[in-house]
Amino acid sequence: MTGGPLDAWLRARGEQRAEAGLRRRLRTLPPVCVDLASNDYLGLSRDPRVVAAAQDALDEWGTGSRASRLVTGTLGVHETLERELCELTGQPAALAFSSGYAANTGVLTALGDADTLIVSDAHAHASLVDGARLSRSPVRIARHSDVGHVAQLLAERSETRAVVVVESVYSVWGDHAPLAELAALCRTENALLLVDEAHGIGVAGGGRGLVHELGLAGSPHVAVTMTLSKALGAQGGAVLGSETLREHLVNTARPFIFDTALAPASAAAATEAARIVRAHPELSGALHERARFVASALGTPLARAAVQSLPVASAESALRASEEIRSRGVVVGCFRPPSVPDGISRLRITAPADMELHVLARALETVRDVVGDEPQGA
């Protein structure tokens, strides 16, 4: 039996992706490998203290929260998590979501309406892009980290309210947003600066994030989103800001209201990880030491981030190189359009803070051996 029009369309789209070298597939780690691709920046996902916290939560609360936070799903472990996230970031209030994606779509859809302009950086993560699209707000795209362009868009607006959307540390280039300048601009223009700290927590400011490092924590014109699945080694997300913002989200953010609460084990793991990051800023220092090691070994510009990227000439070259590196026992990230905002395919390399340098050195030799045979991009 042949498929109908939908199957024909799906096959045609699949053929287009294959021709462009953009077909994606699910991946697992080989049984024995050096993992330079994961987001476990500080190695906390397997830290005995974090694992024990998750196991204790399983014993006390069970495997799931069983309901929305507004029904019976709010457990003591969620309240403890939110307090610890506030302690880590210096924010007055926090609300946990089931993922960083849900946090970003939740806050933007809750703040958006026809009288709220969203100004989004051109390199903003897909979850922020989707949140802006779903928000019912007019949206303008600002040139990447161009404060002057943001100022122009805010000055030209006819809407009463505005939200400026950026990442603190961008995941492709590893550059930092000009948060101090943007926060001052938002204060003058009576706008909210929404900062996604997905790649900032555990990385910048001794692990407490770029917003905290710059003294912007608690500012009424600044709010933060974050994921619990990168440096904190767990799962989930959060929005942090004023008590008023939190109350608004509890009542209006659909990804919060209509979603089962974050699983207790994930919440407890993230809580313990947040405590560790706050108590041990040297973890962030070790992460940056390894980032410098990677950049030096590969001859690439150093990004002030966990992720270092190596440009490759084409999507096909990036995929071919990553597969060859993988076959030699090292796993690196392979990022191709549309996941890269500038259209340049890259191998992304993340050396966690707990990786021994001699192990890292051998793995980077493998990367150099393979990529040396591939033409690099701009």
Active site residue 104: no
Query: What is the rounded CA–CA span in Å between residue 313 and residue 299?
Result: 16
DSSP string, 326-367: HHTTEEEEEE-TTSSTTS--EEEEE--TTS-HHHHHHHHHHH
Contact 88, 278 (CB under 8 A): yes
196 catalytic per annotation? yes
Q: At 67, is the secondary structure helix, strand, or coil?
A: coil
**Bond from prior residue into 338 cis (ω within 30 degrees of 0):** yes
Spatial contact of 22 and 315, defined as CB atoms under 8 Å apart: yes
Q: Are 69 and 220 in contact (CB under 8 A)?
A: no
Active site residue 167: yes
Hey, what are 16's tokens?
């287009």
User: Which residue is catalytic, options 47, 84, 121, 167?
Assistant: 167
Q: How buried is residue 275: exposed, middle or buried, by Cβ count under 10 Å (0-12/13-18/19+)?
A: middle
Q: What is the DSSP letter of 143?
A: P
Point out the catalytic residue in the list 45, 65, 98, 125.
Answer: 125
Active site residue 230: yes
Tally of CB atoms within 10 A around 187:
14
Catalytic residue, candidates 47, 196, 213, 374:
196
Q: Which of 172, 171, 199, 168 is nearest to 183 (CA)?
A: 168
Residue 175 annotated among the catalytic residues of the structure: no
Catalytic residue among 84, 230, 266, 284: 230
Contacts of 26 (CB under 8 A, 6+ apart): none
**Which residue among 199, 212, 266, 345 is the active-site one?**
199
CB-count burial class (<10 Å; 0-12, 13-18, 19+) for 72:
exposed
Contacts of 13 (CB under 8 A, 6+ apart): none
> Which is catalytic among the residues 45, 98, 171, 229?
171
The residue from 39, 65, 98, 284 that is catalytic is: 39
Count Cβ neighbours within 10 Å for each residue of 26-65 and write b for 16 or more, e otherwise. eeeeeeeebbbbebbbbbbbebeebbebbeebeeebeeeb
Helix or strand run (H / E) with residue 240: strand 237-241
| Residues designated catalytic | 39, 125, 167, 171, 196, 199, 230
